[in-house]
Amino acid sequence: VFKHYSAAFSSEVFNMAGNAFNEVLNVCEITEDVAKGCNRTEADMVFISSNMSGPKNQQLNPKRALCRFQFLELMTSLAITKFFRLPTDEEKRCASPSEAVERFVAECLSKGERDAGQEFRWNEFYNEEIDDLLKSKQTELNKVYSKFTGKENRPTEKPKTMSLGEWQKLLEGAGLMDGEIFGDRACRLCYVRSMQTSEDELTDDTAHRKLKMVEFYEAIARVAQHRMVNGDADHPLAPACGTFAGFIAEVISAMFKSITKPKAKAKKPDEEKGEGGGSRRGSKELAAL
């Protein structure tokens, strides 16, 4: 839930800003039909207090945007308020804070949109056909990845990784971000969903913001899946092959073509012509004559 709404509704992408938090409240009906206690004002106050904890690092722990541990703290507080502290009816009131959290997850957070990552990997991505395809495209993939990595790495940092900005630049250059089938939101979600969840974003040396090579393969597959599920067969970007492997092959081909197409040569400005077709000379040159 945290990763999805942060990437889909926050400009921070890796942290949950206020608009993404409001989306969670609405979709999960956390403050629904509550006259007092666990209402929007209560939620906003807990958001502010939770955001104050943690190290003072603007990149990892920005103001007005939650880290994952702050999101957990906030949800726990709302769960206790909603199902343990607030209800006066003993039948509706949970017996303990831990029971309130379990009920909160089951009745509220379960309504939120999330990525079924493992189902996608085991049911669609981890198979012999896709494995053979990626092996056959290894040279192209290596060239594409090396072209769009290193921007946010230190000079001596190895291996090089791909930042979100480089990922978006790659998709734009390949013509895959058309704004209809695939836009900015899908770009961010494919990037974030392909990355392994970090145990601690505050101590992982920003690894949760860097796409590794093996994660790059999955990100490509997620782009292909998005186009396959949401695409239009008559769209100019629709591939000829309708299989999942065919979509992946088309995405790889588009990326590779974007780095191999010849650059247009800059045209030199034509020499300014004077009257009678001759070249126009400067005043000093004319004086010398």
Tens digit of pLDDT for each residue in 228-245?
888 755 555 455 556 889
Q: Is residue 30 part of a domain?
A: yes
Confidence tier at 139 by pLDDT (50, 70, 90): very high
Q: Give the integer Cα–Cα distance in Å for 27 and 21.
A: 10
Radius of gyration of the chain (CA): 26
> How many residues does the structure list for the chain?
289
Range of the domain at 157: 117-260
pLDDT for the residue 289:
44
Residue 94 and residue 132 share a domain = no
User: Is residue 16 pLDDT above 60, yes or no?
Assistant: yes
pLDDT for the residue 265:
57
User: Is residue 204 pLDDT above 80, yes or no?
Assistant: no
CATH number of the CATH domain containing 49: 1.10.238.10
Count of domains observed in the chain: 2
Could you tell me which of 145, 125, 129 has the C-alpha nearest to residue 228?
125
pTM, to two decimals = 0.82
Confidence tier at 278 by pLDDT (50, 70, 90): very low
Residue 35 and residue 98 share a domain = yes
User: Is residue 273 pLDDT above 80, yes or no?
Assistant: no
User: Is residue 96 pLDDT above 70, yes or no?
Assistant: yes
Confidence tier at 73 by pLDDT (50, 70, 90): very high
Backbone phi, psi, residue 285, to 5°? -65, -40
Residue 85 and residue 164 share a domain = no
Could you tell me if 4 and 197 are in contact, meaning their C-beta atoms sit under 8 angstroms apart? Answer: no
Confidence tier at 163 by pLDDT (50, 70, 90): very high
Residue 71 and residue 57 share a domain = yes
Residue 150 and residue 90 share a domain = no
pLDDT for the residue 282:
47
User: Is residue 57 pLDDT above 50, yes or no?
Assistant: yes
